[in-house]
Structure 1
Amino acid sequence: MPHTARSGSAAADRHLSCLWCGRNIVESEAGRRRRYCRQSCRQRAYEHRNSLKGTGIPDDSVVLSAQEAADLADRWFAARCAAEDVATAVEEGAGHDELAMLSRTLVELTREAERLR
């Protein structure tokens, strides 16, 4: 009997985020869990850790530029507005199609908001 992966298995369904850029990483079923989506993200994280040595800032700290922090706040604001749109549509008795569209938008914006950079 051929071996098939179980649908809904934990490894097949687990999605991780890159520790540097926040992009989705789909975990493979074999081997060590990936922490970065690309070699360039791994390199940026290494450079960041080394730049913090001797500063008193912990290695696992996230340091953002002013522009990166402003962009992150904008993404959070957009996600919050989308959540408020869904809540308003529910209160007003919106139809299934409208709620589905608003929900898809909310999911997209919250995925974007998860990114740190």
Structure 2
Amino acid sequence: MTERTRPPGSCLWCGRPVPEIGTGRRRRYCRQSCRQRAYEQRHTTREAGLPEDAVVLTAAEVESLADRSYLVRCAAEDVATAVAEGADAAELGELCAELVTLARDAERIR
């Protein structure tokens, strides 16, 4: 996620909200560990000769991202099924809330 594409106030590394603390420059990372991972990523891509905006993910990170995407698809299918079966507004509201929660989680790359 680059500074230009990330939502304002979210961590450059993980996408979580970055707390506003005091005055001065706006923080770019939510935690020191995210800042460290971003540094390691920049260093690794530079050494490997990859483009600066390249994203390197481990197999576990790719699998986790695929799993989260699958959960979003399943939740969307649940909403579609409920609509087709004429579910009431309360049930649709619960399903949509779950879908939004899963989609937010799936936005995280790591």
TM-score by length of 1: 0.75
Distance 1:38 1:66, change over 3 A: same
Q: Percent identity between the aligned chains? A: 61
- Verify: 1:24 aligned to 2:6, yes or no: no
Secondary structure of 2:55's aligned partner: coil
RMSD in angstroms over aligned alpha carbons? 2.1
- Deviating above 6 A after TM superposition, structure 1's stretches of 4 or more consecutive aligned residues are none
> Partners in 2 of 1:100 and 1:26 — Cα distance?
30
Pairs aligned (count): 103
DSSP-derived class of the 1:105 partner: helix
Unaligned runs of 5+ in 1: 1-13
**Could you tell me how far 1:37 is from its partner in structure 2?**
1.3
Task: Determine which structure has more spread, i.e. the larger CA radius of gyration.
Answer: 1
In the alignment, which residue of structure 2 is the partner of 1:7?
none
TM-score with structure 2 length normalisation? 0.79
> In the alignment, which residue of structure 1 is the partner of 2:31?
38
Structure 2 counterpart of 1:99: 92
2:19/2:30 contact within 8 Å kept: no
Change (3 A) 1:66 1:33: same
Name the counterpart of 1:67: 60
Q: Distance in 2 between matches of 1:37 and 1:54?
A: 26
Deviation string 1:6-49 (CA, Å, 9 cap, x unpaired) is xxxxxxxx754322122233668x76554321122112101210
Q: State which of 62, 69, 85 in structure 2 corresponds to 1:76.
A: 69
- Say if 2:50 is the partner of 1:57: yes
Name the counterpart of 1:11: none
The structure carrying a bigger strand percent of its residues is 1
Deviations 1:47-92 (A, max 9, x none): 2101222322112211110111011000000001101111111121
